[in-house]
């Protein structure tokens, strides 16, 4: 049987390759034939290289079977072009969502666990991630984060998403605006009028 030529859409890579890094095959292959890295299992020091190579997922050794399975599912989603929920809408399932957000810090990289995020606030072309260890900037849109993590965060303003479990009270300020009081917030956050009704219903069911 003659050999069949195929073009891969993704690949698994590790930084512990003999005499090279796991990113060299991608860097040296022709641009038109490049496969996007689907997952990587390097030590933390190589995390920046993984994200610069536009890796679909990032795994830290020792790799748990369920995380590897989720990474491969995410790679299949990328190859298919989009995630669907059966109705054709692009909605990520729990296993296909990231577990961390990635912030770049002067050439280094910080991974922020999603469960540690208190709220997300858009600021020009960045999003400020307010989390348990402080604040960091990420280069993502608030809309894409809402689409990916809609079951964890709720929109309270056109420029702000708040973790549902962080909301402890909705109150009216002296100027008449509704504010959300957070469990770990230094100050209440303003709720836009268009978000008030939906937010009140959300809080009732928390």
- In tens, the pLDDT along 151-180 reads 999 999 999 999 999 999 999 999 999 999
Question: Given pLDDT bands bounded at 50, 70 and 90, which one contains residue 32?
Answer: very low
pLDDT of 97 reads 78
pLDDT of 27 reads 46
Question: Given pLDDT bands bounded at 50, 70 and 90, which one contains residue 71?
Answer: confident
- Polymer length of the chain: 206
| Residue spans per domain, the chain | 1-82
CA distances to 43, 77, 155, 171 from 40, rounded to whole Å, are 9, 17, 32, 46
**What does the DSSP assignment read for 112-177?**
EEGGGEEEEEEETTEEEEEETTEEEEES--HHHHHHHSTTTEEEEETTEEEEGGGEEEEEE-TTS-
159 close to 122: Cβ distance less than 8 angstroms: yes
Q: Which residue has the higher pLDDT, 75 or 136?
A: 136
3-state helix, strand, coil in the chain (%, to 5): 30, 30, 40
Average pLDDT for the chain: 77
Rounded CA-CA distance 70/132 in Å is 26
**What does the DSSP assignment read for 13-29?**
E-S--TTS-TTHHHHHS
Q: Which helix or strand (DSSP H or E) is residue 78 part of? A: helix 65-80
Asked if pLDDT for residue 140 goes beyond 60, the answer is yes
């Amino acid at each position: 049987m003659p050999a069949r030529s195929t073009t891969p859409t993704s690949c698994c890579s590790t930084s512990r390759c003999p005499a090279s890094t796991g990113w060299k095959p991608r860097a040296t292959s022709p641009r038109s034939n490049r496969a996007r890295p689907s997952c990587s299992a390097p030590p933390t020091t190589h995390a920046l290289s993984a994200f610069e190579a536009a890796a679909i997922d990032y795994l830290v050794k020792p790799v748990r079977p369920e995380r590897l399975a989720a990474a491969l599912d995410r790679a299949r989603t990328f190859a298919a072009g989009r995630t669907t929920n059966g109705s054709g809408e692009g909605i990520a399932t729990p296993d296909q969502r990231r577990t961390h957000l990635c912030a770049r810090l002067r050439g280094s990289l910080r991974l922020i666990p999603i469960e540690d995020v208190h709220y997300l606030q858009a600021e020009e072309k960045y999003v400020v991630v307010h989390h348990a260890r402080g604040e960091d900037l990420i280069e993502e849109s608030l809309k894409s984060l809402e689409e990916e993590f809609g079951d964890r965060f709720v929109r309270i303003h056109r420029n702000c998403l708040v973790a549902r479990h962080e909301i402890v009270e909705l109150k009216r300020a002296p100027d008449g605006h509704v504010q959300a009081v957070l469990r770990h917030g230094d100050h209440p956050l303003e709720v836009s009028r268009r978000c008030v009704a939906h937010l009140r219903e959300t809080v009732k069911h928390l």
